[in-house]
Amino acid sequence: MAKYSSKINKIRTFALSLIFVGFIIMYFGIFFRTHFLVMSIFMIFGLLAIIASTVVYFWIGMLSTRAVQVVCPNCKKPTKILGRVDMCMHCNEPLTLDPNLEGKEFDENYNRKSQTTKL
């Protein structure tokens, strides 16, 4: 079985990884100190990765404000749901707001548009 996590947490993890990738790219630029143009290109690409991370963080923040907040039946903590099915941010309990999906095994494909017509 694949490891699932909350969609909001997945996007936040991606944004955090963009920051580290940006710093690593900039660090490689230091090895080319004698070649100003190559060093500048590495620094600019690293900066673009960090700016992309800022954009992703802003986007997920806006998306998080519109997410439906529910109380997880397993851990009793408030969590946010994006889409038809999602996982609890705290205990990874599968959650859904769709009564047709209650009792079914968790599958992220239920959130795809093409899947909604097949139910």
Judge if 72 and 41 occupy the same domain: no
- Specify whether 57 is located in the same domain as 46: yes
Q: Measure the CA–CA gap between 83 and 106, rounded to whole angstroms.
A: 13
Q: Is residue 106 part of a domain?
A: no
Please say if the pLDDT value at position 86 is more than 70: yes
Same domain, 72 and 62: no
Q: What is the pLDDT of residues 70-82, one digit of tens each?
A: 888 888 888 888 8
Burial 51-79 (b: 16+ CB within 10 A, else e): ebbeebbeebeeeeeebeeeebeeeeeeb
Together in a domain, 53 and 15: yes
In terms of domains, do 60 and 73 share one? no
20 membership: H or E segment, kind and range? helix 7-30
Query: Over 70: is that where the pLDDT of 4 sits?
Result: no
Residue 72, domain extent: 68-100
Does residue 81 fall inside a structural domain?
Answer: yes
Report if residue 27 sits inside a domain: yes
How many domains, in total, are found in the chain? 2
Orientation of helix 36-66 relative to helix 7-30, angle to 10°: 170
Q: Are residues 56 and 85 in the same domain?
A: no
Q: What is the pLDDT of residue 31?
A: 92
| Tens digit of each residue's pLDDT (9 = 90 or more) over 23-55 | 999 999 999 999 999 999 999 999 999 999 999
**pTM for this predicted structure:** 0.74
Q: What is the arithmetic mean of pLDDT over 8-20?
A: 92
Check whether residue 20 and residue 60 sit in a common domain: yes
